[in-house]
Amino acid sequence: MRAGPVFESPRLWLALVPAAAWLVLFFVVPLSIVALISFLRAGAPVEWVIDVGGYARLADPLHVTVLLRSVGLAFAAMLLCLIVGYPLAYFIARRPPALRRLLYFMVLVPLWANSLVLIYAWMVLLRPNGVFDQLLHWAGLAGDAPVSMLYTPAAVLLGLVYWYLPFMVYPLYASLEKFDFNLLDAAYDLGASRLTAIRRVLWPLTLPGVAVGCLLVFIQALSAFIVPDLLGGAKSMMLGNLIQQRFLSVPQDWPLGAAVAVALLAVVGAGLVLYYRLQRTQP
Amino acid sequence: MQGASVELKDVSKSYGHQPVVRGVSLAIERGEFYSLLGPSGCGKTTTLRLIAGFETPDAGAILYNGEPRSTPAYADDVNLVFQHYALFPHMTVERNVAFGLEMKKLASAEIRRRVQHTLELVHLDGMQARYPKQLSGGQQQRVALARAIVTEPRMLLLDEPLGALDLKLRKAMQSELKALQRRLGLTFVYVTHDQEEALAMSDRIAVMHQGRVLQVGAPGEIYERPATRFVAQFIGESNLLDGDVTGRDGSSAIVNAGGVVFRAVAPGERSVLLALRPEKISLTATPQQGVNSLPAVIEDSMYLGTDVQYRVRVQEKLVLQVRRQNLGRPAYRSGDQVYANWDPPAAVPVAPDPDS
């Protein structure tokens, strides 16, 4: 698509200055600093000597485990968001327009609430003697000892799904709302079962929404920080926590922390390139 | 292959508290081109969706080939052509047409053969690899048609299939559709709001209004003998003469409509509503014998190309629309004194519409 001729006038280029300045000052510059730090030698906090030790220490099995766990948790969160989000988006898209807007608004509400408070609420639900624990005991599903889901990978996964679900539902809803549901009737009319109609018609035509939703959730979940920090324990540390610890906790290792950040960016960047490649091969 | 028949017995359907179809009874015969005609919101599309099995009636029965539908009729025998075609946008023409055959799990060689044959039938050979959005409206229409007939159904339900096409193309597609229906021997149930289209194509027409069927008949019957006021006004144009029978003269009744007295073929009731087509009235400079011939004044004329439409005032009381063929003679002008003439049987008594 070609941009309109609005910004062809040199004077209107001036309108872009604030945005450009903002991006350079608060995005390009800090990112360059992080990239620079990743190539320095660890010290207190860094020595101004070019060194790739940060990247070497990245290969430490301990850090590789964190990387793999992050990818695994982000992927699982993405899949669960898709499994929960698709029927939800479908349900909303098939309501009458007025109700549709209300329901969609309600899905987005958690985005406006303070996310820290929401995660604290989950801590209250998941801790020993918390609501989940009591429910399990009341249902007779647990023994005498209190059950804690808190500080487990499962709690982190739950938190990630909870936090990022709106980002999945948003693009799914957008593509489902545009979907012409007559196409499903046409498929049924030609003898397709419900499942076949979904597989051959609904799914391929809403795939762009699925792809965007998965991308949004995966990228964000991969670099999640607050959720694993509050709901996860030492055994469910993710990349975000690793970065934070290497910068702020003893033993400090800024080059390693920066190297993790750069690696994360590279993984996400590679994912985006792959996504656009795939998209371009579509008719 | 033989067309199927379908019968609706006192079928009703409401959405919420809104009755959409109210006690509709229809008997559609095998191999018939049957149109459901009415303005938007008259319940014709819902009636079609009931026949297709997309909706279930709240009351009444639908008989398919004389038997209750235990299995949904649309599973095999009945296919629908959707109003906006509902072609699968992510599939090529070939894949679209093959879809129904794939659902029947036919061998791929057989599918290819039948798709090819059907595309030739609708003059779309060579378009196999195109996507729907690369086709013109008329071509998309043909793909929709091909997709619906390739599985060899016994009945085709068409929901305003030509509504999105421009006039010239619509006329061409009308005769093509009609020829296809004759050739395949299928039963067509055709929903349209276009009365000309219905008159041109149908074997029979059911005129619908406010969820009811007002009249069923061949195009000629519907046009020449409209049953109710609505039918008279919706199908073509009609002058409606609301009058009282004041006496009888042999077989005809003497009718007084708004102070204008003329003869009509009317039943013995006291008040009568007559529909008189504008083209059944002639205008002459002198009074005519053996017909109603009443002095009138031309009030206005409209040039329509093949016709000229006049508004005339009869005896300073009754306004009539008169349509005369444009035969090259100089037209009458406003203020001209003429005689408006019509044969008494041309004014047809019509019933008032059922209460809504």
| pLDDT per position as a tens digit, A64-86 | 999 999 999 999 999 999 999 99
Percentage, residues of chain B above pLDDT 90: 67
Judged against a pLDDT cut of 90, whether residue A33 lies above it is answered with yes
Classify the C-alpha dihedral B56-B62-B63-B67 as positive or negative. positive
Whole-number Å distance between alpha carbons of B71 and A194: 16
Closest residue of A to B91, CA-based?
A201
Q: Which residues of B touch A (CB under 8 A)?
A: 52, 54, 74-76, 79-80, 82, 84, 86-90, 99-100, 103-104, 131, 147, 151
Across the interface, whether the CB atoms of A283 and B82 are under 8 A apart is answered no
Under 8 Å CB pairs connecting chains A and B tally to 46
Residue A216 inside a domain? The answer is yes
Q: What 3-state class would DSSP assign to A151? A: coil
Judged against a pLDDT cut of 60, whether residue A3 lies above it is answered with no
Lowest mean pLDDT among A85-89, A142-146, B109-113: A142-146
| pLDDT per position as a tens digit, A116-143 | 888 888 888 888 888 888 888 888 777 7
Closest residue of A to B100, CA-based?
A190
Judged against a pLDDT cut of 50, whether residue A216 lies above it is answered with yes
> With left for phi above 0 and alpha for psi between -120 and 50, is residue A249 left, alpha or beta?
beta
If one counts the domains in chain A, the total is: 1
Q: How far is B75 from chain A (nearest CA, A)?
A: 6
Residue A24 inside a domain? The answer is no
Across the interface, whether the CB atoms of A183 and B86 are under 8 A apart is answered yes
Whole-number Å distance between alpha carbons of A22 and B302: 68
Judged against a pLDDT cut of 90, whether residue A199 lies above it is answered with yes
Q: What is the mean pLDDT of residues B81-94?
A: 94
Closest residue of B to A282, CA-based?
B90
Which residues numbered 164-223 in A keep a CB inside 8 Å of some CB on B? 180, 182-183, 185-192, 196, 200-201, 204-205
Residue A124 inside a domain? The answer is yes
Average pLDDT score over chain B: 90
Across the interface, whether the CB atoms of A186 and B86 are under 8 A apart is answered yes
Q: What residue has token string 């339900």?
A: B157
**pLDDT for the residue A109:** 85
| pLDDT per position as a tens digit, B1-38 | 578 899 999 999 999 889 999 999 999 999 999 999 99
Closest residue of B to A184, CA-based?
B86
Residue A54 inside a domain? The answer is no
Across the interface, whether the CB atoms of B89 and A201 are under 8 A apart is answered no
Residue A74 inside a domain? The answer is yes
Nearest to B259 by CA among B273, B271, B244, B238: B244
Judged against a pLDDT cut of 50, whether residue B77 lies above it is answered with yes
Contact B241, B257 (CB under 8 A): yes
DSSP β-ladder status, B271-276 and B260-264: unpaired
| pLDDT per position as a tens digit, B285-296 | 999 998 999 999
Q: Which helix (H) or strand (E) holds A225?
A: none
| pLDDT per position as a tens digit, B222-257 | 999 999 999 999 999 999 999 999 888 888 889 999
Helix axes B137-149, B93-103, angle to 10 degrees: 20
Domain range enclosing A126: 60-281
Judged against a pLDDT cut of 70, whether residue B72 lies above it is answered with no
Percentage, residues of chain A above pLDDT 70: 96
**pLDDT for the residue A29:** 94
Nearest to B80 among A189, A192, A201 (CB): A189
The CATH number that applies at residue A157 is: 1.10.3720.10
Q: What is the mean pLDDT of residues B49-64?
A: 90
| pLDDT per position as a tens digit, B159-209 | 999 888 888 888 888 988 899 899 889 999 999 999 999 999 999 999 999
Percentage, residues of chain A above pLDDT 90: 46
Whole-number Å distance between alpha carbons of A221 and A235: 17
Whole-number Å distance between alpha carbons of B3 and B91: 30
With bands split at pLDDT 50, 70 and 90, how would you rate the model's confidence at A149?
confident
Nearest to A191 among B89, B90, B100 (CB): B100
Residue A122 inside a domain? The answer is yes
Q: What is the mean pLDDT of residues B320-340?
A: 89
Whole-number Å distance between alpha carbons of A152 and A159: 11
Q: What residue has token string 């003269």?
A: B249
Q: Is A96 on the interface with B (CB under 8 A)?
A: no
Across the interface, whether the CB atoms of A189 and B103 are under 8 A apart is answered no
ipTM at complex level: 0.81
Classify the C-alpha dihedral B325-B330-B336-B342 as positive or negative. negative
Q: What is the mean pLDDT of residues A201-226?
A: 92
Nearest to A186 among B76, B82, B90 (CB): B82
If DSSP states are collapsed to H, E and C, what string results for A173-236? HHHHHHCCCHHHHHHHHCCCCHHHHHHHHHHHHHHHHHHHHHHHHHHHHHCCCHHHHHHCCHHH
Q: Which helix (H) or strand (E) holds B45?
A: helix B44-52
Judged against a pLDDT cut of 50, whether residue B73 lies above it is answered with no
User: Highest mean pLDDT: which of A107-116, A145-154, B190-199?
Assistant: B190-199
Nearest to A189 among B52, B84, B87 (CB): B52
Across the interface, whether the CB atoms of B103 and A196 are under 8 A apart is answered yes
Residue A65 inside a domain? The answer is yes
Question: Which residues have CB under 8 Å from A181's CB, separation 6+?
Answer: A94
Q: Where are the beta strands (DSSP E) in A32-141?
A: 40-42, 46-50
**What's the DSSP call for residue A54?**
H
Residue A25 inside a domain? The answer is no
Half-sphere exposure of A26 (CA within 13 A, CB side): 6
Residues of chain B neighbouring A200 (CB-CB closer than 8 A):
99
**pLDDT for the residue B71:** 58
Across the interface, whether the CB atoms of B74 and A189 are under 8 A apart is answered yes
Q: What residue has token string 């398919």?
A: B64
